[in-house]
Structure 1
Amino acid sequence: MTVSRRHLLALPAALAWPAAEAAAPAVPAASPVRGGTLVIGVGREPTLLTSALTTAGPTQTVSGKVFDGLLSYDVDLSPRPQLATRWETSADGLAISFQLRPGVKWHDGQHFTSADVAFSVMEAWKKYNARGRATFSNVERVDTPDPLVAVLRLSKPAPYILRALSSVESQVIPRHLYAGSDLLANPHNNAPIGTGPFRFVRWERGRQLVLERNLDYWDAGKPYLDRIVFRQLPDPAAAAAALETGAVHLSSELPLSDLAGIAAKPNLAVHRRTASAGSGITGFEFNLERPLFQDVRVRRAIAHAVDRDFLLKNVWYGYGTIAQAPIPKPLAEFHTDDVPTYPFDLKRAEALLDEAGYKRKPNGIRFSFTNDPNATGVMLSQTAQVLRSNLARIGVRMEVRQQDFGEFVNRVYTRRDFDTTIYSASAGPDPAIGTQRFYWSKNIQPGVAFSNGAAYRSAEADRLLEAAQVETDPAKRRALYVRFQQVAETDLPKIPLISSETVVVAQKKLRDFITTAEGSSGNFSTAWLEA
């Protein structure tokens, strides 16, 4: 059924919306048990608890359980209803209409309406979310002709938006608590009020964060758990021991070197590739505002000092694939191998540095710089140490600085007090959502985490990214992204290293906790603990 704008505005409450429901999930092998406390071991403490304003993983893991999105997604990225029950894109691609779920309440008892959707899109996602700035850049306004109808009006088509509406990716926040405030300083960022299956109770910083069952959740009978406790376990060895003893039920921040031993434990299970909503990619990024890195020969020389085969085998323990392009292989619809590559070749690296005028000094050192690996697991620090050793062989001294997650975000994205960094981030579920934010010059946004931290500016890359955003023909869209990857790997503001897997370890008694593409950042409304 095609709904005209006239009919949409006139009859919002009586629309016969086109079917968009996802297929019902398979019946679980056992009947869920109600009650119990799920304990999740986390190594990194969030900087805030509202992922509408950040793409940081520690925030998403918590807030995905407190908030809902308009949609959720099956593991194959097919959309499922959540706060929206029906949706339709107009024939010209310039309007996306949502019928919203009736009877949904915020945790403070206020009703959820289309005004919350409009506010979230225009005032939060478009302004403060590193991925949202690109994803929703074509949204000019959101019409709210009825409390249960929201219509995104676009200046140009944006075919990827329907992949970007999960509670992890684009979190609807309550207008009545945010309107008129400084969104980044709003106290509800750290004491969130959502519509999700769990309510925020308290946050004991450095120790634990507690959520409890939302008794008024719109999905009747859910959640099954009484509460979720996020327990701070910064020591990976302590996290592994807690899993083995049953003190915690779930962790995703264990050393990959320990997983083989953990998998042998009779009470534990290792879950691989648990989040298909975005394919993770680890990269080494340059601060292009530093004069040293404005010579592409220096960047290429450093790329030739990276032994990806060694990293995959000895640091990542085979949990991933080698990455040579900005869009990783798991996103096969857009990935290409036809890009400039920089194989491990220390002689070629030395020749490039000589050519760039950075010859060895009497002490054998050409130059020095710092590297800040993100505090998201030992793999990034180990990657930095391996690269430091290789760079020393070509006369380059790299100092590796360690800091907690909050200081990393502040240093790189606010103070911009860094030379290079190593971090992992999602490149999906679509390049316009996951990849563009790192390469688009309009996303150079100090203070916005995981934006264009390199300060990469390329008119050609911008043109290709912006054209791919609005292209609705799949073949033409792929061609644009292929060309973008070739430009990006020629300019090399960031060296792709490893396309990593999402791996979590859980007690076998924890059931049905990963049922969507959001993986362990999903809402856990179906999770339960065997007695």
Structure 2
Amino acid sequence: MQSARHLKLTVPLVALSLAAAACGGGGAPTSAPSVADATADNRTVQNGGTLTVALNADPDALDPSTATTLVGREVFVNMCEKLYDIDATSTLLPQLAAAMPQLSGDGKEVTIKLRTGLKFNDGTVLDAAAVKKSLDRHRSWEKSARQADLAAVTDVTTVGEDTVKLTLSRPATPLTAQLADRAGMIMSPKALDSEGDAFGANPVCVGPFKFSGRTSGSEIVLERAPDYYDAAKVKLDKLVYKIIVDPNVRAANLRSGDVQVGDQLATTTVAGVQSDPDLKVVSGGGLGYFGINVNIGNVAGSTEKYGSVDTALGKSPELREAFELALDRDAINKTVYNGLYESDCFPLPADSPYRAASLQCAPHDVAKAKQLVQASGVPAPIPVTLTTPNDATNQRLAQVIQQMTKEVGFDVKVETAEFVATLEQGGAGKYDTLLTGWSGRVDPDGNLTNIITTGGSNNYPGMSDPDIDEPIKQAAAATDTAERAELYAKAIQKAADLRGFIYLYHNKYYLGMHKNVAGVQYYKDGLPRFTTAGFTTK
């Protein structure tokens, strides 16, 4: 924990227009207002040109094995293709693979046929040996962040030049979805041999664009890849990612034309961008979530043995219930995010086929919250420390939480830290309550296993219960959607009762673009795809 970067801030109450917001917060999740769908824009684009894209943060190393950031995935999606991908309906489909995987009868052997004739962006041929080399690096390199993704894989073998076989320790239905993310990105074996651990400084994959250069904290440049197998679809000569952290500056650069695309527009800037006659806004995302971690057992690190936490919320499920009941999710959405997110109390989005109808949010209930606080015997006001990233939006959210919970008897003190520092605190268990989010995955296992099961690296609350762990484990081995949904419902409901994580909303992503930009694909994973993008001919 880098305590030198940690600043304590007791945020004063602010006069917020909560009364004007909806007074709900229970029942079905509320939906964000409609914004244009990027996939509906199929105008003809011209050949050539440079598209400049503003990112809201500087990605970590561009190494698929070690990368952990959402903005890194935004860059990868245009230069590092995977064995599988998703389409506009979030359906998994082959990308570098030639077909969906074939499973053995016991589900412990997965055979993947590869497309033939493909080349990496350094001209090296993609074959089974190259795929094995990347998968082995992902799953066994000590620095790899993909080990958990491929934990079920015990061996990768080649079958001729165009087939790989994965041997599993257990059936793993979510594996295909893992291979549609960084764990399925295949790297040039030539580049791996020459760059070694420094691969992320000069990455080479299969993709419509190839890495050209990077200035840390400033920009990342990709160029059209001449060896790409579908090169005729690619129109742009170059992609330039500009790092512009401040959301107002990002929107201003979009209006001025210094950038043609702005990612993850702050909800406070969406209306202004929409009002500009030369600009438009499209929406994506929705698979992820944001909320409040409550430390209930993380005393020595999320992957270490859990214990007893000596805080009011950590010791009392009833006080955690009171804390949640005090929160009006709809009012939070309208007050902090202009109603542009989707209020919810569970980790799976409302339209997920894996979300059982039995999962229902408890209504916002100040009276019941007060009763629970009074019955606890803990003298009010009950102290709670809330740690938040130090950006303006999260601090605003923290203020709203502070005000809402004060009404029922909590005294929330807000502490701010840099984003990375808050994650370090979460992993180490050095917090009381903590604001964090998750960008989301197509398969529900990616929103659950490593986050709410015992020993998961992202299980910051230290939740540990067999009624959570076992259903999730069983669901990962099941193939029937309805059966998996039923199992996930059991685990999710138990986690909801424990309240180690209090979900607030599913965050939508908003992409601002000049109206002369077309051909962008923007799906529920929130990753802008520029393979077919370009500038319109008119």
Match of 1:68 among 81, 84, 89: 81
Residues 283-322 of structure 1: pairs in structure 2 closer than 5 A: 283-288=291-296, 289=298, 290-292=309-311, 293-322=314-343
Alpha-carbon distance in 1 for matches of 2:120, 2:423: 30
CA distance 1:37–1:102, shift in 2 (3 Å)? same
1:254 aligns with 2:265: yes
CA distance 1:410–1:58, shift in 2 (3 Å)? farther
Over the aligned positions, Cα root-mean-square deviation in angstroms equals: 3.0
Match of 1:396 among 383, 396, 410: 410
Which deviates the most, 334-343 or 209-218? 334-343
Alpha-carbon distance in 1 for matches of 2:369, 2:207: 52
1:116–1:174 CA contact under 8 A, matched in 2: yes
Alpha-carbon distance in 1 for matches of 2:140, 2:503: 27
Match of 2:383 in 1: 367
Match of 2:364 in 1: 344
1:405 aligns with 2:424: no
CA distance 1:81–1:473, shift in 2 (3 Å)? closer
1:158–1:469 CA contact under 8 A, matched in 2: yes
Which deviates the most, 67-76 or 41-50? 41-50
Alpha-carbon distance in 1 for matches of 2:390, 2:80: 26
CA distance 1:366–1:475, shift in 2 (3 Å)? closer
Query: What SS does structure 2 have at the residue aligned with 1:86?
Result: coil
- The CA deviation at 1:57 is 0.8
- The CA deviation at 1:242 is 1.2
1:164–1:429 CA contact under 8 A, matched in 2: no
Residues 110-189 of structure 1: pairs in structure 2 closer than 5 A: 110-124=124-138, 135-167=149-181, 170-175=184-189, 177-178=191-192, 186-189=197-200
Residues 230-269 of structure 1: pairs in structure 2 closer than 5 A: 230-269=241-280
Alpha-carbon distance in 1 for matches of 2:524, 2:289: 17
CA distance 1:161–1:239, shift in 2 (3 Å)? same
Task: Describe the superposition over 1:272-293 as per-residue Cα deviations: whole angstroms up to 9, x where unpaired.
Answer: 2x24xx6121221123324211
1:327–1:435 CA contact under 8 A, matched in 2: no
Query: What SS does structure 2 have at the residue aligned with 1:60?
Result: helix
Query: What SS does structure 2 have at the residue aligned with 1:146?
Result: coil
Match of 1:382 in 2: 396
Alpha-carbon distance in 2 for matches of 1:433, 1:28: 30
1:339–1:489 CA contact under 8 A, matched in 2: no
1:303–1:342 CA contact under 8 A, matched in 2: no
Match of 1:489 among 491, 496, 506: 496
CA distance 1:518–1:479, shift in 2 (3 Å)? closer
Alpha-carbon distance in 1 for matches of 2:387, 2:258: 35
1:425 aligns with 2:438: yes
1:374–1:422 CA contact under 8 A, matched in 2: no
Residues 324-343 of structure 1: pairs in structure 2 closer than 5 A: 324-331=345-352, 333-336=353-356, 338-339=358-359, 341-343=361-363
CA distance 1:222–1:411, shift in 2 (3 Å)? farther
Calculate percent identity across the aligned residue pairs: 24
Match of 2:12 in 1: none
- The CA deviation at 1:315 is 1.8
Match of 1:210 in 2: 221
Match of 1:505 in 2: 512
Task: Describe the superposition over 1:484-507 as per-residue Cα deviations: whole angstroms up to 9, x where unpaired.
Answer: 121111111101111222221111
Alpha-carbon distance in 1 for matches of 2:242, 2:319: 43
Partner amino acid, structure 2, of 1:257: T
Match of 1:10 in 2: none
Match of 1:459 in 2: 466
Please give the TM-score of this superposition, normalised by the length of structure 1. Answer: 0.82
- The CA deviation at 1:313 is 1.8
Query: What SS does structure 2 have at the residue aligned with 1:271?
Result: strand
Query: What SS does structure 1 have at the residue aligned with 2:131?
Result: helix
- The CA deviation at 1:268 is 1.0
Query: What SS does structure 1 have at the residue aligned with 2:397?
Result: helix
Partner amino acid, structure 2, of 1:420: T
Alpha-carbon distance in 2 for matches of 1:350, 1:325: 23
Alpha-carbon distance in 2 for matches of 1:518, 1:112: 26
Alpha-carbon distance in 2 for matches of 1:298, 1:123: 45
Extract unaligned runs of 5+ from structure 2: 1-38, 299-308
- The CA deviation at 1:150 is 1.1
Extract unaligned runs of 5+ from structure 1: 1-25, 446-450
Please give the TM-score of this superposition, normalised by the length of structure 2. Answer: 0.81
Alpha-carbon distance in 1 for matches of 2:184, 2:480: 25
Alpha-carbon distance in 1 for matches of 2:321, 2:331: 19
CA distance 1:55–1:165, shift in 2 (3 Å)? same
Alpha-carbon distance in 2 for matches of 1:279, 1:75: 13
Task: Describe the superposition over 1:318-369 as per-residue Cα deviations: whole angstroms up to 9, x where unpaired.
Answer: 22322122322121x1223534744333443344344444313xxxx42241
1:280–1:500 CA contact under 8 A, matched in 2: yes
- The CA deviation at 1:147 is 3.0
Query: What SS does structure 1 have at the residue aligned with 2:167?
Result: strand
Alpha-carbon distance in 2 for matches of 1:374, 1:434: 25
Partner amino acid, structure 1, of 2:364: F
Query: What SS does structure 2 have at the residue aligned with 1:438?
Result: helix
